[in-house]
Amino acid sequence: MITILPDHIANQIAAGEVIQRPASAVKELLENAVDAGATAIQLIVNDAGKSLVQVVDNGRGMNEADARLCFGRHATSKISRIEDLFCIQTMGFRGEALASIAAVAQVELRTRTAENELGFYVEVENSQLIKTEPIAAPVGTSVAMKNLFFNVPARRNFLKSHAAEMRHIIDEFTRVALAFPSIAFSLHANHQQLFQLDSGTLKQRIVQLMGASYESRLVTVKEETDYLTIRGFVGKPDTARKTRGEQYFFVNNRFIKSSYLHHAIMNAFQGMLAPDHFPLYVLFIDLDPQQIDINVHPTKQEIKFEDEKIVYAFVQAAVKHALAQFSIMPTLDFDLDASIQQLSSIQQPFTEEKKSAATDSALFRSFTQKNQAHLIQPSGFRSYRSEWEAQEPESTPSNPLLNLAASEPVQNLIGLLNTYIVYPHREGLWLIDQQRAHERILYEQLQQSSAEKPVATQRSMFPVTLSVPVADTVLLSELCIPLSTLGFLLEPGATGEFTIQGTPSDLSPGQEKTIIEQLLEEYKHFNADANFTLREKLIRSMVKQRRLKAGTSLTEKEMQELVAQLLACQQPGQTPDGKPTYLSISKSYLDNFFGRE
């Protein structure tokens, strides 16, 4: 039997599209404040937004009639006819934000316009109007969302930890603050000020949000055409990080996510970044609203371009041009004139499919593989390479050579290419990857540490102050206690500052700040994997950060110690992420390979 859902259930279902967590409400309320013409916006949260999200602005405010209407479904002042959907220049327009918030929380609204001496107060709970009355209030609007999901406890149970939800809130706050640097923003969490952003230029806003170290590490991007304008900044290659998070695209001042345009940026930086690193960028694309459709996703973070290939080409060319102008990369300095814009290579980006087809060709291989230019591979000859690759590296404790090697003294080691260690013994040899071996050793050492048996800590005679971007403050605060079992003693100070009171005893003095900054970056890289516990993520991060650097030259004594420690490991054959640490080659295999009887 078909029935019509009651309003209170329908409202909660609709709210789920818009309000999925406290950060969702933060986004909607901040965007409404921007649309109201505010020049100063305050965000106040308690318990990571679970008990309170409040946005206070000095915008135009609402009269009594609008204050009553704004909580209704599809209540909006932004559109009145279907054609308006294709000319949108405001942040919010669907008329769902306040209605969705009111369906799953207790909401209090205070507002006043400049024309009225008194303001108006509205209280809504479970989509029902509870109270309305005139009040004294400043010009502008204050919306307080209290006790999110109080009437849908099952959904409240799906919220993450305070630290995780707070990171989502800071992400949304950062996006809106970057889009409107001329507006002053502040953020208070649990009565502590996290951000106080004065109005200014985009570059000033980036530095305010991401740290003073970026002041001299930003490259200006600015290209204007009849079709679109691209403006903003990219970070120099040395600002690239292993984790995403400092990549921002805005189309007509609206934050969007676009893997397609991100690919254009990565192509522009090709050859300048370490593997698996991502550059910082804050880029604004301005074009006719009729050239895009933003009404394709509830969060409005995905949009459609009328001609996405043109946008791709200009983004890539503009970033390359900016890097060339600032001598970041050697290239010919072309202006974006009409002749270049019409080239097929610009109009048709080099896709992954085309790249794969090109690199698979014999011509490509003959010019890119060492010693391959005159290679002839007769079909009648037996390929020794295929036999070698067919042999699986014996790198597990079940390997009989492991027990044999462990019983022999570690000596006669040979360093190879500052990367490998040749370890011969009477039944064959091991080819050991020194970096991976060190990963396994560090991993097992750190795994054995605990609150009862922490890693030995060396107290600092002169404690060092570490400054991190405010967005990382919540994360590092969460890690202080687990870090203490791994030898790091950190004390939170003023916003964005930590005092390093102690470090692992084997850490060389003077490296404290760099080590923790890199450790935090490694942790964010692992943090996306839900299969690991917080401690496991932290240990794996420390292993990656403290392992031997590639190309490190070791003395014979250092090689002996490394091999001995590897042999003492419980699982010497693999790194924590399952990569082999050594290749075991038996004497019988060598005899067979060379045809010895």
- CATH number of the domain enclosing 596: 3.30.1540.20
Interval 85-124: pLDDT, tens: 445 555 544 446 788 898 899 999 999 999 999 999 999 9
Region 478-502: mean pLDDT is 84
Q: At residue 370, what is the residue type? A: K
Interval 43-61: pLDDT, tens: 999 999 999 999 999 999 9
d(C-alpha 27, C-alpha 96), whole Å: 13
Q: How confident is the model at residue 461 (pLDDT cuts 50, 70, 90)?
A: confident
- Examine the domain organization and report whether 320 and 210 are in the same domain: yes
What's the CATH code of the domain at 32? 3.30.565.10
pLDDT at residue 576 is higher than 70: yes
Q: Is residue 112 in a domain?
A: yes
What secondary structure does DSSP assign to 531-595, as a single string? Answer: TS-HHHHHHHHHHHHHSPPTT----HHHHHHHHHHHHTSSSTTB-TTS-BSEEEEEHHHHHHHTT
Q: How confident is the model at residue 199 (pLDDT cuts 50, 70, 90)?
A: very high
Q: Is residue 391 in a domain?
A: no
In this prediction, residue 52 carries a pLDDT of 96
Q: Is residue 384 in a domain?
A: no
The count of domains in the chain is: 3
Q: Is residue 505 in a domain?
A: yes
Q: What range does the domain containing 475 cover?
A: 396-597
- Examine the domain organization and report whether 467 and 432 are in the same domain: yes
In this prediction, residue 588 carries a pLDDT of 87
In this prediction, residue 351 carries a pLDDT of 57
d(C-alpha 466, C-alpha 53), whole Å: 30
pLDDT at residue 400 is higher than 60: no
Q: Which residues pair with 220 in a beta bridge?
A: 233
Minimum mean pLDDT among 103-117, 226-240, 272-286, 371-385: which range? 371-385
In this prediction, residue 170 carries a pLDDT of 92
Answer with the residue of higher pLDDT: 154 or 93. 154
In this prediction, residue 300 carries a pLDDT of 55
What secondary structure does DSSP assign to 130-161, as a single string? Answer: EEEEEE---SEEEEEEESTTTT-HHHHTT---
pLDDT at residue 21 is higher than 50: yes
Final residue belonging to a domain, choices 197, 214, 231: 197
pLDDT at residue 361 is higher than 80: no
Q: How confident is the model at residue 212 (pLDDT cuts 50, 70, 90)?
A: confident
Numbers of helices and strands, H then E, in the chain = 21, 22
pLDDT at residue 41 is higher than 90: yes
Q: At residue 86, what is the residue type? A: F
